[in-house]
A and B are shown apart, each in its own frame.
Chain A
Amino acid sequence: MKPTLRVVIFVAALLPVLPSFGGARHFTFLYEANTSAPGSLELENWVTWRHAAGPGRFDQVDFRHELEYGITEKFQGSIYLADWFYESDPEHSGFTYSDTAIELIYNLTNPIVDPVGLSIYGELRVGDRLIELESKLISQKNFGPLILVYNATLESVWEGSDLAEREGEFSQALGASYEISPRVSAGIELLHEFVFPEWRDTEQIRNFFIGPNVSYRRGNWFLTITALAQATDTQDEPDFQLRTIFGIGL
């Protein structure tokens, strides 16, 4: 690994130290159905490291800084102040600003008292050379200390200098988290992606990732980490992904 990348990962690990309260996440690649309490404000720092080995090897570290606000008991909004990344491959390396985003989540049913907890999610990302629309159906059921979550996501992306490159993606994710103690949970996350370059399925791109997660919460902060390994063999996709979300109430 290049020294610069080591520095980036080290700095990313320090980011959570910044002053930044609210609900804890049990997953990092999945969303849970419950929404933030009205009036609560939370800062979440996301760091995702993607690594691919072999001929097309690359390392990329993505950063997201989310301000999440509870608008009503069942409705929350978020602003992703800046999404940026560091990438390193055999040809070049450096930092790039990607986009700024807004996200809205509306909770329909509760995972405890209703047969299934459901929420709908919408996100708009706009950058210098990127527009992305993402919609999601979030379902969740709590069985005592066990949380089961399923997300179905549809994404449309326009990117490039004149936004001429189009891509669609459908993904489904399944997660389970068991509460070992009030402060610690551990579980598993599975991510299944169907990628449609130019909105066509001629390349039949399917990616499947699986891996463990662990979440720790204390006081007004939480830290959740997931490590995913690719079970398929898709070129240009990471062999390994590590995502950390640190959240703290403001």
Chain B
Amino acid sequence: MNKLSILIVLGCLLVSCESINYVPAVTSQMTTARKGQHVDFATLRQGRTLLVHRCIECHTLPLLWRYRTEDWPGIVDSMSHRSSLKPAEREAIVAYILAVRSVEP
């Protein structure tokens, strides 16, 4: 019975982790989400792709709400050399993160 309880708890934890969408798909709403700024769809998609490929080489993905909007460019910048990101790729990742933050509640 104890083993079953542990398995149920572990299962619930995994399901709850999986139900959190760490990297939501790019929507057209995201392209105009940031006031006064338009980011093209392709850049946001590239940013998402790079985020899920390069960043997990060293660490798991944090919730995008974990850090303040103004902190994200510096955070990505600090690890861009390690993950071999070119300036445009680094900007694409930041653009995606900020766009997600702008549209998600």
Binding site for B on A (CB under 8 A): 21-24, 34, 36-40, 70, 73, 110-113, 142-147, 179, 182, 217, 219-220, 222, 249
Question: Which of B19-62 touch A at CB < 8 Å?
Answer: 20, 22-23, 48, 52-54, 56-62
User: Which of these, A22, A113, A146, contacts B23 with CB under 8 Å?
Assistant: A113
Asked if A37 contacts B54 (CB within 8 A), the reply is: yes
15 new A-B contacts, CB < 8 A, other than A22-B82, A73-B53, A146-B17, are A21-B82, A22-B57, A23-B58, A34-B53, A37-B54, A37-B57, A37-B84, A40-B83, A112-B56, A113-B52, A142-B56, A143-B14, A143-B17, A145-B17, A182-B59
Note all chain A residues with C-beta closer than 8 A to B70. Answer: none
Note all chain B residues with C-beta closer than 8 A to A145. Answer: 17, 60
**Closest chain B residue, CB of each to CB of A140:** B56
Asked if B84 contacts A144 (CB within 8 A), the reply is: no
User: What's the Cα separation between A109 and B56 when bound, in Å?
Assistant: 13
Binding site for A on B (CB under 8 A): 13-14, 17-18, 20, 22-23, 48, 52-54, 56-62, 81-85
Note all chain B residues with C-beta closer than 8 A to A39. Answer: 84
Q: How far is the CB of B8 from chain A (nearest CB, A)?
A: 16
User: What's the Cα separation between A21 and B81 when bound, in Å?
Assistant: 10
